[in-house]
């Protein structure tokens, strides 16, 4: 199994569609990837929440990951979103992602069917046993309807050899503290709540971020993470204060609607979503663009 560094700044990259929404715009996708690499981002997360994975077919999901690996060409890490509410599907597509060259997997908790803690363990065990690359456990109770308890995460870390990090998006600073206390300093915690990132890093409860805003402002997010990790809190506090309103604006409506709207206004992709995601309400769009000076 690859021994890779799962700390730092990772961009939850969008999936750009053609104007009619029927196909993935791979030209725009490649341009976005090149911008991320130029900004010094440590890796990209492909086909995650921000990548609109729920409205991708599994064939598209697999192809998107394969294309990303080819475009990146080992310059940064490619982390593939392969979670599902069907364990069998998660296994199949995790195996496919590994075959297609992904460096690691981001595996979300099963959603909608609300498994027990033992069910969550069984799901991750089956994915773990099918592959030989690192797994980042993705805990996002707000979208999945179930929280991974820290004792369950500890059990997974201790018994499943590929569980190497967690993306903590519960929105709870206290849960991140508990994970740090129970799993120790050597287990990477990636923040999945943009506005909490700097606080988690500053309080030694975070090792990096899977960022939405880094789609549009990768250098700024990377700098914030690096300042926090280096203990340069005077400069870090100032940058956090400068970026906080923009971070919050990226979530004025359901992610990834605002960030994709912002990127479209910047000329980086079409303003194209797949239903049930739709374009922003006019008042929210104006607020978003005003916040970013567009």
Q: Would you please indicate which residues are annotated as catalytic (active-site) residues? A: 138, 167
Within 13 Å of residue 239, how many CA atoms lie on the same side as its CB? 19
Q: Angle at the Cα of 279 (from 274 to 209), degrees rounded to 5?
A: 80
Q: How far apart are CA 77 and CA 40, in angstroms?
A: 11
From the centroid of its chain, how far is CA 135? 13
Q: Which residues contact 163 (CB under 8 A, 6 or more apart)?
A: 124, 128, 135, 137, 156, 157
The answer to whether 194 and 209 have CB atoms below 8 angstroms apart is yes
For the chain, the distance separating the N- and C-terminal CA atoms, rounded to the nearest angstrom, is: 45
CA dist 272 and 278 (Å) reads 8
Joined together, the tokens standing for residue 31 give 């341009």
């Amino acid at each position: 199994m690859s021994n890779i560094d799962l700390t730092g700044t990772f961009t939850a990259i969008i999936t750009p569609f053609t104007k009619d929404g029927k196909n993935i715009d791979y030209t725009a996708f490649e341009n976005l990837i090149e911008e991320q690499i130029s900004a010094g981002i440590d890796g990209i997360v492909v086909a995650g929440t921000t990548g609109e994975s729920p409205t991708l077919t599994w064939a598209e999901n697999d192809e998107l990951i394969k294309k990303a690996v080819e475009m990146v060409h080992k310059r940064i890490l490619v982390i593939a979103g392969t979670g599902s509410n069907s364990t069998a599907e998660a296994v199949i597509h995790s195996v496919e992602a590994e075959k297609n060259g992904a460096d690691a997997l981001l595996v979300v908790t099963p959603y909608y069917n609300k498994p027990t803690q033992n069910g969550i363990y069984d799901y991750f065990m089956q994915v773990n046993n099918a592959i030989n690359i690192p797994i980042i456990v993705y805990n996002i109770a707000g979208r999945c309807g179930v929280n991974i308890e820290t004792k369950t995460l500890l059990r997974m870390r201790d018994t499943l050899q590929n569980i190497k990090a967690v993306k903590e998006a519960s929105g709870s600073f206290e849960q991140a503290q508990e994970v740090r206390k129970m799993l120790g300093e050597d287990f990477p915690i990636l923040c999945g709540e943009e506005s909490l990132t700097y606080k988690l890093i500053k309080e030694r409860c975070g090792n990096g971020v899977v960022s939405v805003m880094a789609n549009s402002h990768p250098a700024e997010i990377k700098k914030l993470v690096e300042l926090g990790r280096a203990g340069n809190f005077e400069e870090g506090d100032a940058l956090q204060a400068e970026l906080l309103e923009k971070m919050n604006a990226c979530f004025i409506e359901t992610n990834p609607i605002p960030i994709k709207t912002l990127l479209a206004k910047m000329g980086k992709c079409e303003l194209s979503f797949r239903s049930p995601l739709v374009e922003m309400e006019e008042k929210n769009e104006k607020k978003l663009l005003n916040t970013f000076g567009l």
